[in-house]
Chain A
Amino acid sequence: MSHVETASRPNPGASSPRTDAAIEAVEITKHFGSTQALHGVTFTVPRGSVFGVIGPNGAGKTTTMRALLDIIRPSSGHATVLGTDSRNAGPELRRRIGFLPGELILEGRITGRKLLQHYADISGPVRTGHIDELAERFHLDLGQPVRKLSRGNKQKLGIVQAFMHEPELLVLDEPTSGLDPLMQQEFLLLVKEARDAGQTVFLSSHVISEIQQAADEVAILRDGRIITVASVEALRQTAVRHLRMTATGIRPADLAERLGGLDGMAGLVCTAVTSQTGAAATEATATLEGAIQPFIQAVSTLSLTDLVLEEPDLEESVLALYTAPGESAESHRAARATRKVRGTRAERKESK
């Protein structure tokens, strides 16, 4: 740990060793009666990173988080959180964690400020003025009784509650739910600042778009199992890009031949069109998975009049993992090939 780091980090996270993982979950299972919520969940969250877990509702995200906080006890397996076994961990551990529950229900006449003060009394100390700073960032009125707050404002109060004591680890269950897009951006900024300050963030969502901006690594959870853990960059690599191009001086069949053999190319449709200048042209649409370099090389000698290669849609590739865990990559590709047009998420689900 360098001097620069310690000087710029007022939070307690800076003072503890950063060699070990912030969270190490080993084969956690959990039964609720006859239903099994978690089937041996194993993952590691490095210190100072932002780790996202995504999965559909009921995948076990909340259960995993509650197990880390010792709110529920795993049926088997264990988790080490900030170097301490989470089970029956003392209050000292939880003081170093900020937690935002997935279903934040706040009731009563108590004002937001008093409620935050109460939790500061338990888990503090809280830096003077920090609560007000956070509240101002989120345009949150702390004088209101909590029961009168809207869903979004309750969520903001929950976020302030989790961040106010600058904990080493933040465990945030669906943190952006109920927030408007502007506040979602503010939240993602807060997460970035936390990481820059050496804090570790473990957050969940059922949509990757919320996480992909903030997270370094993403675990995909489905039916109580982790399907894959990958960096956002790696997901991006495997993610499918939609491409659309128009070239003149080449017949559809030739273009199809040139592009069809490329790795990761699927759903290729080449049609003859007339370009804006009136010349004969060929338009191709397809999806492309993996590296784009071979594709660029293949089209480099063509006279292109239009080329659109979209930002990879992580959500789409992740949805494929949600819904088709056992299928091979080939069948993934085949499934994708049937979808030529980007539809809404509902349509995508239907198509499977």
Chain B
Amino acid sequence: MTASTATDVRRAPLPIFGKAFADGRRAMLGWGIGIAAAIFLYLPLYPSMIGTSEMQKLIDSLPRALIRTLNYDQISTGAGYTQATVFGLIGFLLIGIASIGWGAAMLGGDEESGQLELTLAHGVTRVQVVVERFAALVLKILLITALMFVLIALLNGPSQLGIDVGYLAQTCLLFAGLVLLCGSVAMLGGALTGRRVWGIGAGAFVAVVGYVFNALGNQSADLEWLHGLSPYYWAFGNYPMTNGGTPIAFVAFYGGSLLVAAATALVLRQRDIGV
């Protein structure tokens, strides 16, 4: 009781940010364990895969289209393998879902549950709510990505991956930007409709369409223009684990996410809440 009464008069800085971040701690832990498990599952397999001719034969026997769809065309190097498996597939799936879920819940879910109405009746502005919750989303994604960076860097030696740590860092930032963009769009979708499910739909649309356009663009020169519309391609098309990231991709992700957040703030400012 003493601790609580002592803090009753306190007014924490950035309360919306603090709560948005703290509310997801348990879920954060879960996603962290999930992505760590995936990394520990995939990466230690690498040495046993490249050395064996059977594996190479297996890869060669697969249809070219399938390999391109799965982005396995550079899988014979440690960097290519890590990008294709961790960042391009399981990581994108797991953290993409997490980010979209967070983004959709932050405004759409909160409004749906009636809590946003109460929060907005307190001493905050709507723009402040959007900005602080977006910041919490960014921090959550960056923390998860930092965990991925640390784990991959740790396994780099033991798993004979031969990854350039600088390129790994760049890839991590691109990856974070990609899932942040999906999460931001989910947040915008939630703000537009006041419904969590529409937020999830909007975020998933960006993620899935990005993935599909990348896969289609990989198939033939006629469809390569689809790469331009694929955030997934912007992140991984240039093989950042092998070549590093292009500045334009960083601008697209972080600048794009900021623009989406700004649009979210504008949308929420105009709307009637909870109707």
- Where the two chains meet, the residues of A that have a C-beta atom closer than 8 Å to any C-beta of B are 32, 66, 69-73, 90-92, 94-95, 97, 99, 101, 103-110, 113, 117-132, 158, 161
Contacts and interface: CB of A to CB of B under 8 A. Distances in A.
Contacts, number: 103
23 contacts: A69-B121, A72-B272, A72-B273, A72-B274, A91-B124, A94-B121, A94-B122, A94-B123, A94-B124, A95-B122, A101-B117, A104-B114, A105-B114, A109-B26, A117-B7, A118-B19, A121-B15, A121-B18, A123-B122, A123-B123, A124-B9, A128-B5, A132-B5
Nearest to A67: B272
A158 B121 CA distance: 12
Nearest to B120: A71
B245 to A, nearest CB: 38
B4 A113 contact: yes
A137 B115 CA distance: 25
A130 B8 contact: yes
B122 A108 contact: no
Contacts of A128: 5-6, 8-9
B113 to A, nearest CB: 5
Given A91-B123, A132-B1, A118 B15 contact: yes
Contact of A122 (B4, B6, B124, B275): B124
A86 B128 CA distance: 18
Closest 3 CB pairs of A and B: A95-B123, A121-B15, A72-B272
B125 A117 contact: no
Contact of B275 (A70, A72, A105, A106): A72
Contacts of A121: 10-12, 15, 18
Given A94-B121, A121-B12, A122-B16, 20 more contacts: A32-B272, A66-B272, A69-B120, A91-B123, A94-B122, A104-B114, A105-B115, A107-B113, A110-B23, A118-B19, A120-B11, A121-B11, A122-B119, A122-B124, A124-B11, A126-B9, A129-B8, A130-B8, A132-B4, A158-B118
Interface of B: 1, 4-12, 15-16, 18-19, 23, 26, 113-115, 117-125, 128, 272-275
A70 to B, nearest CB: 8
Contact of B117 (A71, A95, A122, A131): A71
Contacts of A94: 121-124
B115 A90 contact: no
Nearest to B269: A88
B273 to A, nearest CB: 5
Nearest to A71: B273
Contact of B8 (A104, A118, A126): A126
A127 B9 CA distance: 6
Contacts of A91: 122-125, 128
A86 to B, nearest CB: 11
Nearest to B121: A99
Nearest to B11: A124
A131 B8 CA distance: 8
Contact of B122 (A122, A130, A131): A122
A304 B15 CA distance: 70
A106 B115 CA distance: 7
B122 A119 contact: yes
Contacts of A105: 113-115
A103 B18 CA distance: 25
A76 B122 CA distance: 24
Nearest to B6: A128
A166 B102 CA distance: 34
A88 to B, nearest CB: 8
A129 B4 CA distance: 8
Contacts of A99: 118, 121-122
Contacts of B125: 90-91
B8 A127 contact: yes
A218 to B, nearest CB: 23
Contacts of B9: 124-128
Given A72-B275, A118-B19, A97 B5 contact: no
Contacts of A124: 8-11
Nearest to B14: A121
A117 B16 CA distance: 12
Contacts of A131: 4, 8
A92 B7 CA distance: 21
Nearest to B272: A72
Contacts of B26: 109
Nearest to A92: B123
A121 B9 CA distance: 8
Nearest to B13: A121
Nearest to A113: B4
A138 to B, nearest CB: 17
A108 B117 CA distance: 16
A120 B275 contact: no
Contacts of A127: 8-9
Nearest to A90: B125
A325 B64 CA distance: 77
Which of B12, B117, B273 has the largest count of A CB atoms less than 10 A from its CB? B117
Contacts of B119: 119, 122
A71 B121 contact: yes
A243 B123 CA distance: 52
